[in-house]
Amino acid sequence: MLAVLGHYFLVVSSDTRPANVQSFMALVDVAQLVFAVGECEVDPDTLERLIQGHLQLYVGVYGADSVLPKHNYCLMFPDQLRRFGTFVRAFVHERHHMLLKKIGYHRKNNRLSNWG
């Protein structure tokens, strides 16, 4: 879906793209490079340059107050790629936390239980 939207903005929009479309196109470039990590060799320096370029465009459009923690976390991707050759998808404690949430999800409503 992301590639389809990227193609739409690339083909349909004119040479003078609004800043928010430029930011989105930079995001498409980053996402395609991140998804390519398991399929081919990706240069961490190129990934870092694209991520920083997207974040600069994003801050330019939406302001510094709109930056979320996930924007800062994505700055760690190039370093992970340098160190491990791939991305650390989920840490062990996060996987265990997700398992506990999955088990406990259906047990939070006591009204449906026969407690007495």
Task: Supply the pTM of this predicted model.
Answer: 0.69
39-97 per-position pLDDT tens digit: 888 899 999 999 999 999 999 999 999 988 888 888 889 999 999 888 876 666 666 67
Rounded mean pLDDT of 7-24? 75
pLDDT at residue 46 in the model: 93
Does residue 108 have a pLDDT over 70? no
* CA gyration radius, the chain: 20
Query: To which H or E segment does residue 51 belong?
Result: helix 44-62
- Report CA 76 to chain centroid distance, whole Å: 11
pLDDT at residue 113 in the model: 53
- Report CA 10 to chain centroid distance, whole Å: 21
The domain spans of the chain are 2-107
